Amino acid sequence: MYGTVDSLKTTFGFIRGDDGVSRFFIPSYMEDPLAFDELRVGQRVRFEHADHAKGPRAAAVAVVVESAGAASDADAAAVDE
């Protein structure tokens, strides 16, 4: 799934998925936990949805690197095959 960083605090944040659902996440939910400090509100991310008793969460969060002419994740995977 894809979404946008909606809000950030010192130790947690929320991602609004393209489906409109807001999901909680913390640094350890990221593929690279050290990247949490580099996140910015409005940044595009890729993540997996995770159900939790306290509400939806985002897992395996990764920053989407967008540049002019860059291939999508699916296109890049197809090229590697």
Read off the pLDDT of residues 3-21 as tens digits, 9 standing for 90 and up.
Answer: 999 999 999 999 999 999 9
Which of the four pLDDT bands, split at 50, 70 and 90, describes residue 76?
very low
Q: How far apart are CA 76 and CA 35, in angstroms?
A: 22
pLDDT, position 73: 52
Give the domain ranges of the chain.
2-80
Pairwise pLDDT comparison (75 vs 16), residue with the higher score: 16
| The CATH number of domain 2-80, selected from 1.10.10.10, 1.20.1440.230, 1.10.3720.10, 2.40.50.140 | 2.40.50.140
pTM (predicted TM-score): 0.78
Helix (H), strand (E) at residue 79: helix 73-80
Read off the pLDDT of residues 28-74 as tens digits, 9 standing for 90 and up.
Answer: 999 998 899 999 999 999 999 999 999 999 999 999 987 655 545 54
